[in-house]
Structure 1
Amino acid sequence: MLTKLGWKLLLLSRALWMRTLAFAILAVVTALMAIALKGVIPASIAGFIGAEAVDKILSILASSMLAVTTFSLSVMVSAHGAAANNLTPRATRLMMEDATTLNALATFVGSFVFSLVGIIALSTGLYGEQGRVVLFIVTIAVVVLIVGTILLWINHLARLSRVSEIAERVEDAASAAIVRRGKHPWLDANRLDTLDDIPSGSYSITASGIGYIQHIDIQALNHWATENDAKLYVTCLPGSFVHPSRAILYCSQKCDEQACQTLQNAITLGDTRSFDQDPRFGLLVMAEIASRALSPGINDPGTAIEILGRGVRLISQWQVTPDDISDFDIPYPNVWVSRIEIEELFVDFFSPITRDGAAFIEVQIRLQKSLAALSAVDGNFHAPALQMAQTALARAEQSLTFAPELASLKEVHQRLFS
């Protein structure tokens, strides 16, 4: 699992300003490299055809890239606003981290900076005749890069704010978190089945603030526990809402103020939940998309049915940990972590849809079929699937006013779960 530093660097790499800054620095270095390389250009080809036109090319790039960047930013903001209004604001975070969008904007800004630096250096006479040749070659390469980026960006704009595109991004993020948790069910620590398994006499350590747990640095916790000959029991998983009165972990020995602060710093809190270590969050966002589609203002049961299919695909990837865990590698033996229960996944995803889709017969039938499919995929899913199917049927009985529709739904439920 990623350490806190590694996770922070990962978040930094997804930030628009960071990628743009990196491209801008690269552009400056590239423009100035022509000055350093001018000595390798023979004087005989200093008058290379086209080199004199580099001034005009750079001027065109400088003006056009500024306009393209402004246009791209306006399109991105409009797409994010549409996604927040029509789907869910939680999905916009994934759109803001979209690699194609980040690379396109960074390329446009970097090209603009490259053009400015080139124009300034040319006006000072730093390049000379040989340097102009190098700058001309680099400028042609930049133009090719811009053309390729624009073509990709245009294709990307055509599907930037589509419901299916955003739902696919959420599914990919949730799937990655689910698969990752399946490989590391206790974040590479020992299994803590229930709070009753925590030895009596252990000392509780509360949260340092109020917010959601976004990341747990198990390596840092294990390092401290190893150095202090202690055992740590983490009771709050990523995604949990905590406050200074809630214990986030227990320690086998009493900790002083400095030790408590060290352990608290290993658990990162934030205002919102994160997809990386929180598989349940992805399912919640998927359910929000379906709920918004079922709202009276949108009234799009087809999207809810599509989301049900994606939810089945996600939950079916969940790996139920066996009772025998001898095959699991435990890199951090001095830490114990509680697990995510299967029932929690079903409640997170299906409960909002059963509530908001209770009056839609087509959604209710697909809901029963989705739960039956999960029950057939893995026997461990049968009990929570049956309970959720019965809950959905009970809600539908209170919302469906047309008797034949209700009778048809009961027949489907009986046939699938008898």
Structure 2
Amino acid sequence: MARTNHGSLASFFLRLGRQVWVRAALFTVIGIAIALIAGFVGPLLPFSVTIDLGQNAVDSLLQIIATAMLTVSTFSVTAMVTAFSSATTTATPRSTPLLIADTTSQSAVSTFVGAFTYSLVGIVALSTGYYTEQGRTILFIGTLVVIGIVVFTLLRWISHLATFGRMADVIDRVEEAATSSLVAHATSPTLGARLLDSIPAGSRPVHAETVGYVTHVDVSALDRVARRHDLRVYVDAGPGRVADARVPLAHVGGRFDDDVADAVRATFRLENHRTFEQDPRFGVIALTEIGSRALSPSTNDPGTAIEVIAALQRVLTRAVLTNPDHEVTYERVFIAPSRLTDLVADAFRPLARDGAGHIEVQVRLQKCVAALAASAPQHADVFRDVGSAAYARSRRALDRTDVRTLRAAMREAWSGAAR
């Protein structure tokens, strides 16, 4: 699997493509272009394409499309905002960017906006006599094609709304994002840099000019800066960490001035909120938040927590079974990868705490960590510690009958893991 060490420019365009307005603007431009090209191309064709159209036939169709698309576009945006709000209140606010980036909803809204713009430009152009007779015929054919695209998109959009923003849909999206970032991290834990064991004495810190989460490190650019000035760069604030007065972006070994320090800072992207792109722990945290909210007294939905535990098991299984690529591409950059103990704690500690009084949640959690221990025997101690800590919490919260049930389930699960 390719490393998630996209360059700053590539990362910028990748994030830009996920924005709703970008696709809507693109479809709007396409709609305007199609409406105007019909009048431009008509006189240039070497053959005649004419259809005996009734008076104002094209204009009437365009009026209908414009009215309908304005209504449908408004409805679609309202449905998307409702789905975003629902995910924020019932699942976790961290899932909202994944819903916003949904390609089906973006394409639907963009198609409706593009069709509205196409019809509007066509109406204005017809009223000014822009089209010849052949141009009107081409516009009519184009309008029929637009109607077909709109009908297909509307049917697809209605089908998509049946699941969009529902709890299962949100869990699946967060699981996919968590799997992608965590498997990429497992494949290349240091993003192609050298493993950082300790920061040498004598290296000097480079602090960020603002406080924020590190969401992207351009290791390639950082290595170029180090090579150009004969430096060694030891990254302190990897993706997901807060860079502040206590935690510098990096320590730099070698002689450097303020301009070089600015070049080092430029390879780190800081934001107010964490993202899934390079942060291996964020997806796991978002999944766990969904389960913790489901276990709150106001929600009391242990079934969702059990679904989250199953999702965490799939995510972590993929990660622990991934063979890491230890190839070093950037010799002058050193990065310390996230530790498995931290990832596992992020995943199961909140669920063990908030679900301590739910026997069904605790049984599923023990089966999950036992299965993970069986999948990765080299990390069995990490998962066994999590299971022991969860049992210690639940033993204080459950009655004696449930404790005996949980103890029996643990014996069965862990005896299978030991085989």
What interval of TM-score do these two structures reach, taking the shorter chain for normalisation?
over 0.9
Other structure's SS at 1:317 match: helix
Corresponding residue to 1:38 among 30, 34, 42: 42
- 1:392 is matched with which residue? 390
- 1:168 aligned onto 2:172: yes
The one-letter code of the counterpart of 1:306 is E
- 1:242 is matched with which residue? 243
For residues 220 and 271 of structure 1, the distance between their equivalents in structure 2, rounded to whole angstroms, comes to 23
- 1:416 is matched with which residue? 413
Contact 2:229–2:256 under 8 Å retained in 1: no
For residues 156 and 201 of structure 1, the distance between their equivalents in structure 2, rounded to whole angstroms, comes to 58
- 1:289 is matched with which residue? 290
Other structure's SS at 2:335 match: strand
1:397 CA drift (Å) = 1.3
For residues 371 and 45 of structure 1, the distance between their equivalents in structure 2, rounded to whole angstroms, comes to 69
- 1:180 aligned onto 2:184: yes
Corresponding residue to 2:360 among 359, 362, 365: 362
The one-letter code of the counterpart of 1:269 is L
For residues 375 and 241 of structure 1, the distance between their equivalents in structure 2, rounded to whole angstroms, comes to 31
1:404 CA drift (Å) = 0.8
Contact 1:208–1:244 under 8 Å retained in 2: no
1:139 CA drift (Å) = 1.1
Q: TM-score, normalised by structure 2?
A: 0.94
The one-letter code of the counterpart of 1:119 is I
- 1:22 is matched with which residue? 26
Contact 2:236–2:247 under 8 Å retained in 1: no
Corresponding residue to 1:333 among 297, 320, 331: 331
For residues 166 and 378 of structure 1, the distance between their equivalents in structure 2, rounded to whole angstroms, comes to 28
1:161 CA drift (Å) = 2.1
The one-letter code of the counterpart of 1:309 is A
Other structure's SS at 2:357 match: coil
For residues 148 and 375 of structure 2, the distance between their equivalents in structure 1, rounded to whole angstroms, comes to 50
Other structure's SS at 1:316 match: helix
1:379 CA drift (Å) = 1.2
For residues 2 and 51 of structure 1, the distance between their equivalents in structure 2, rounded to whole angstroms, comes to 56
The one-letter code of the counterpart of 1:371 is V
1:257 CA drift (Å) = 1.6
Contact 2:231–2:255 under 8 Å retained in 1: no
Contact 1:209–1:244 under 8 Å retained in 2: no
Other structure's SS at 1:291 match: helix
1:208 CA drift (Å) = 2.1
- 1:407 aligned onto 2:404: yes
CA deviation map 1:2-44 (0-9, x unaligned): 1111111111111111111111111111111112211244675
- 2:68 is matched with which residue? 64
Of stretches 369-378 and 236-245 in structure 1, the one that deviates more from structure 2 is 236-245
- 1:376 aligned onto 2:380: no
Going from structure 1 to structure 2, the CA distance change for 1:51 and 1:241 (only over 3 Å counts) comes to farther
- 2:156 is matched with which residue? 152
For residues 79 and 51 of structure 1, the distance between their equivalents in structure 2, rounded to whole angstroms, comes to 44
CA deviation map 1:362-384 (0-9, x unaligned): 00011100000000001133111
The one-letter code of the counterpart of 2:290 is I
Q: CA RMSD in A?
A: 1.8
For residues 187 and 308 of structure 2, the distance between their equivalents in structure 1, rounded to whole angstroms, comes to 25
Other structure's SS at 1:269 match: strand
Stretches of structure 1 that go unaligned for 5 or more consecutive residues are: none
Other structure's SS at 1:334 match: strand
Contact 1:234–1:337 under 8 Å retained in 2: yes
1:52 CA drift (Å) = 5.2
1:330 CA drift (Å) = 2.4
Contact 1:51–1:132 under 8 Å retained in 2: no
- 2:345 is matched with which residue? 347
The one-letter code of the counterpart of 1:334 is R
For residues 380 and 206 of structure 1, the distance between their equivalents in structure 2, rounded to whole angstroms, comes to 37
